[in-house]
Amino acid sequence: MTPPDSLPAFVPGAVASTGRVALVTGGARRIGAAVVRALAARGYSVAIHCHASLAEARTLAAELEAAGLPSLAVTANLRDEGPVRAMVHRVADHFGRIDAVVTCAAIWIPGPLEEVTADDLRAHFDVNCVGTFIVAQEAGAVMVGQETGGAIVTLGDQAIARPALDYAAYFPSKGAIPTLTRSLAVEFARRNPRIRVNCVLPGPVTLPAGMDPAARAAAIAGTLAGREGTPEHVADAVLFLIENDFVTGVCLPVDGGRSITGSPVTP
């Protein structure tokens, strides 16, 4: 794969469209925005989904348009099934197809275990798990009718194996993503063998500003790579899973080796 720091930069008129279309949920910020840029650098037209960050989504879409790549900012609350399905169909209707879906949208609200309510748990499952399922189900239905099928990449979390404190609502919702991914891989392959579903399990990337220096040093030391991860590392793994047409049902950690060193992490 191309190293993340050598992905093509956007130059207006210099990036040729491939005719392929991608939908990225949570695509306006953080990892989602890095995935959008990586796909655009590969010549994809990109639909950028957001909920509360419409201004950022529109700005990024305008940047892609300036580079000669059709783009679209779309919005939907992933807790609302009807609008989510309508959002996917708007993308399909606008571009005429969907070739790739990457589900980056997520919520992670911390709180002591004693204060976590059933509504907190439902909110995390609704966005992180059910929202992922609905987007994949609806976009996959579009891909079933395409001769070339398509690729779906979900985002889980490497830390589900070693959950951090104070995220008792978040980790169960992310823990369901690998099973959801494998189930969808089996289901869609029966309907169109050219549809593949895979998962990326990111470790912490771009450690928080103002993080305690000792904690930052420990987090970096916990990687075999000996350095901090970036959203671009995750985006590069997403590209691999989209472009390799013989990989499906795989959950790929992108964590600098934390999953095998056992270093404690925070989301």
Active-site positions read 170
Beta strands in 26-117 (DSSP E): 45-50, 71-75, 100-103
Q: Tell me the torsion sign for CA atoms 47, 48, 54, 58.
A: negative
Amino acid letter, 57: A
Contact 9, 39 (CB under 8 A): no
Q: Give me the residues paired with residue 121 across strands.
A: none
**In whole angstroms, what is the distance from residue 36 CA to residue 24 CA?**
7
Cβ proximity of 37 and 235 under 8 Å: yes
- The rounded distance, in Å, linking the Cα atoms of 119 and 235 is 32
- Terminal CA-CA length for the chain: 26
Q: Cβ(25)–Cβ(32) under 8 Å? A: yes
Write down the residue that tokens 């050219």 correspond to.
194
For residues 88 and 78, give the distance between their C-alpha atoms in angstroms, rounded to a whole number. 11
CB 22 within 8 A of CB 241: no
User: β-strands 150-155, 251-254: how paired?
Assistant: unpaired
